[in-house]
Amino acid sequence: MSELRKDPINGRWVIIARNRAKRPEDFSQDFRTESTGFCPFCTGHEDSTPREIMSYRDHHAAPNHPGWRVRVVPNKFPALGVDGTIDKRGDGIYDLMNGVGAHEVIIECPQHESSMARLPVGNIREVLWVYRDRLVDLKRDQRLVHGLVFKNVGALAGASLDHSHSQLIVTPVVPISVQEEMDGALEFFKYRGRCIYCDMIQQELATHSRIVLETSSFVVFCPYASRFPFEMWVLPRHHSSHYENIPRQAIEEMGMVLKTVLTKLELALDNPPFNYIIHTAPFNSTEVQHYHWHMEIIPRITRVAGFEWGSGFYINTVAPEEAAGFLRDTEVDTSSWNVA
Amino acid sequence: MSELRKDPINGRWVIIARNRAKRPEDFSQDFRTESTGFCPFCTGHEDSTPREIMSYRDHHAAPNHPGWRVRVVPNKFPALGVDGTIDKRGDGIYDLMNGVGAHEVIIECPQHESSMARLPVGNIREVLWVYRDRLVDLKRDQRLVHGLVFKNVGALAGASLDHSHSQLIVTPVVPISVQEEMDGALEFFKYRGRCIYCDMIQQELATHSRIVLETSSFVVFCPYASRFPFEMWVLPRHHSSHYENIPRQAIEEMGMVLKTVLTKLELALDNPPFNYIIHTAPFNSTEVQHYHWHMEIIPRITRVAGFEWGSGFYINTVAPEEAAGFLRDTEVDTSSWNVA
């Protein structure tokens, strides 16, 4: 079982996952994804993954057999395990607990497609709906407090398999990045009585220079203090703290929004490696006024060096206004998307 | 001039450095360092860099000409500029200031050597002494509050040139990573009346399992909550908050320590890309009881993926006890080092 250890100085948690370990000589400096020709995520290879947790599939099709459209399986090399107790304890001045949690893989399509942007919009909507289903289910586990949905595309962004997929890690402590956002947003709320994300949306729509896309329920912009070139945030216009509360009609729209911005990204930057993550409020509440769920899309086209690791400062060589202008001007033909 | 922009939610600052900007199509996904054959850092090529700020050189040698041993020049593409006023101001709900600061390059040797570990120990001591000199000098600038020394080795760690060098960025705000350490250490100090780093040193020496090296003035260990496989921290055993207060005798010893642990790293992991950074207290004090300067050495042999970016959690597949054991067992012959 893995261990969660806390840095006693800054409070950051680290997962020591020995079951994923390699010998020192196994650390390859080659960052390409493996392409052995065999893909365990393709339909027909269902027995190459752990047994599925859920899937959206045709009525006649049996679990762990072809006939699925989106499929969720446990990660074969999980960072956290579902069994056991958390057992928080000390080790001298240090704190640790058992690595209890969930680590799931969402296989987004049965065919061998590496680009989410090229999936039919209906397919993307089902992926977004699966995220919600898994969060609703895992929220019932009293040991767990937060779920983080994320996606790695391309070896430089940490992907080890090409087939379009995302992941969900549910943790027994709130991730420090989410906690810092919650704390900062709460401070703003105490002072101004408003959600800071709602204020950002208002200012972004008014100035427009950082807007990439706006629809009736969503706004996509390059954030004012973008850490990375072409970073984009997707926010629901109506205040909501928990992703899993998303209404079906918003999922419908978000499918189009996500396909559009990911297509723009692929066209503008020639299929860059990227990550996306969904930041949503912890499980211990159903809705809070000060936090606003959102998706952060991070192209991985620059190197993170010593300065960034050491300072927490980021050096971004493309102003978000330029990035947004470039992404806005990247034309995407969406006319045929809702047909199939 | 670049801009410093603050993320209004988590308080993190970003440097928007348009002078370093590229067009979107210029973002290469190829992470190799350039090897055009011409090195601007080699002796004889002094006119390929901006004019030097300082150097250690033979008595007869003129600045910006051969005869130097360690040379400091402004970064040719600085993230921050030395001229102008900070001019803190608002932009609606956002905060920004001018990108005032210093961005210097420390060229560590005149010959074309890419490995600091292969430099003579006397050379490494002079590099460590230059760090001190530059911090002492820049501390006088009332606009600036903190100096971060860092090193990028290998393209995957962000280096764009092979020739052994490090950098110094001095900022008009305290970097959030340092501030978080200062805050955490202060909290501990208030509660226990002791420096948390001193306590860590004591516990590490007692348990020994994470110790890589100990000398009379320094201890090197893999931290309990290591974010990365084979991460190492170098700490002075005697409490000191500011690197620039380091006594000459400690520099002498640190030269040997650094050469030893970097040699171990090169041997153990086959010349991995890595970063090191020096965390030292801000300029606004001369010595504080709760903070303890240290160097963090981070091998860059694993990928940072969406989960890490989104959560602030790190997944480390090599327990620090295993990493330290492996590094301890990596034999280094230091017998000839102090001769030349």
CATH superfamily of B11-18+38-329: HIT-like (3.30.428.10)
- The whole-chain average pLDDT of chain B stands at 93
A27 pLDDT more than 90: no
pLDDT band at B70 (very low <50, low <70, confident <90, very high): very high
Q: Is B269 close to A301, i.e. CB distance below 8 A?
A: no
B98's CB contacts (< 8 A; 6+ apart) are B1, B2, B3, B4, B84, B85, B86, B87
In tens, the pLDDT along A51-105 reads: 999 999 998 889 999 999 999 999 999 999 999 999 999 999 999 999 999 999 9
Distance CA A86, CA A172 (A): 8
Q: pLDDT-derived band of residue B29, with 50, 70 and 90 as boundaries?
A: very low
Q: What is the pLDDT of residues A283-335, one digit of tens each?
A: 999 999 999 999 999 999 998 999 999 999 999 999 999 999 999 999 999 99
Report whether pLDDT(B76) > 70: yes
Query: pLDDT confidence of A26, banded at 50, 70, 90?
Result: low
Band of the pLDDT at B158, cuts 50, 70, 90? Answer: very high
B97 has pLDDT over 50: yes
**pLDDT class for B23, splitting at 50, 70, 90?**
low
Among B1, B4, B9, pick the best mutation site for testing chain A contact (most A Cβ within 10 A).
B9
The pLDDT value given to residue A35: 58
DSSP B248-273: HHHHHHHHHHHHHHHHHHHHHHTS--
B47 or A20, which is more confident? Answer: B47
- What is the SS3 assignment for B175? coil
At A89 the pLDDT is 97
- Distance between B61 CA and the closest CA of chain A, angstroms: 33
Segment A13-23 shows an average pLDDT of 75
What residues contact A27, with CB distance under 8 A and at least 6 apart?
B229, B269, B272, B301, B302
Asked if A253 contacts A128 with a C-beta cutoff of 8 angstroms, the reply is no
Neighbouring-strand partners of residue A15: A4, B315
Q: Which two tokens stand for residue A68?
A: 């699925």
- Domain locations in chain A as residue ranges: 40-82+99-329
Q: Does A303 contact B158 at a Cβ distance shorter than 8 Å?
A: yes
Closest CB from A199, A309, A314 relative to B14:
A314
Report how far apart, in Å, the C-alpha atoms of B186 and of each of B137, B181, B183, B283, B288 are. Answer: 27, 8, 5, 17, 10
Output the CA angle B150-B154-B160, nearest 5 degrees.
Answer: 80
Between CA B53 and CA B261 the distance in angstroms is 30
Tens digit of each residue's pLDDT (9 = 90 or more) over B205-261: 999 999 999 999 999 999 999 999 999 999 999 999 999 999 999 999 999 999 999
Q: Does B190 touch chain A (CB under 8 A)?
A: no
Cα distance from N-terminal residue to C-terminal residue, chain A = 45
Instruction: Tell me the C-alpha distance between A189 and A184, whole Å.
Output: 9
The Cα A304–Cα B271 span in angstroms is: 19
Chain-chain contact of B22 with A317 (C-beta, under 8 angstroms): yes
The answer to whether residue A30 scores a pLDDT higher than 50 is: no
What does the block give as tokens for B111? 């010959």
Of B126, B137, B139, nearest to B166 by C-alpha is B126
Q: Is the pLDDT of residue B30 over 50?
A: no
- Phi then psi dihedrals of residue B156, to 5 deg: -70, -15
Residue B241 φ then ψ, to 5°: -90, -25
pLDDT tier, A34 (very low <50, low <70, confident <90, very high otherwise): low
Residue A32 — pLDDT band, cuts 50, 70, 90? very low
Q: At what angle do helices B121-138 and B248-269 cross, to 10 degrees?
A: 120
Contact across the interface for A306 and B9, Cβ inside 8 Å: no
Please tell me the predicted confidence (pLDDT) of residue A37: 81
Cβ–Cβ contact A186 with B under 8 A: no
Q: Rounded to whole angstroms, how far apart are CA atoms B273 and B266? A: 9
Q: What are B295-333's pLDDT values in tens digits?
A: 999 999 998 999 999 999 999 999 999 999 999 999 999
Name which of A29, A203, A311 is nearest B273 (Cβ-Cβ): A29
Residues comprising chain A, all counted: 340
Percent of chain A residues topping a pLDDT of 70: 94
Please identify which of the residues A165, A242, A279, A292 carries the catalytic annotation: A165
Q: Judge whether B52 and B173 are in contact, CB under 8 Å.
A: no
What average pLDDT score do residues A235-239 get?
98
Chain A environment of B161 (Cβ under 8 Å): none
Please, which pLDDT band fits residue A338 given cuts at 50, 70 and 90? confident
What value does the mean pLDDT take over residues B112-126?
97
Closest-approach residue (CA) in chain A for B1: A317
Query: A31 pLDDT exceeds 50?
Result: no
Mean pLDDT of chain A: 93
* Overall fold of domain A40-82+99-329: HIT family, subunit A (3.30.428)
What's the mean pLDDT in B49-59?
A: 95
> How high is the pLDDT of residue B31?
44
pLDDT class of A48 with cuts at 50, 70, 90: very high
Full-model pTM = 0.94
Please give the pLDDT value at position B27.
55
A21 pLDDT more than 90: no
Mean of pLDDT values over A215-239: 97
pLDDT digits (tens, 9 = 90+) for B3-20: 999 999 999 999 999 765
The backbone torsions φ and ψ at residue B67, rounded to the nearest 5 degrees and listed phi first, read: 115, 0
Active-site residue A165, yes or no? yes
The nearest alpha carbon in chain B to A184 belongs to B9
Average pLDDT of span B88-104: 97
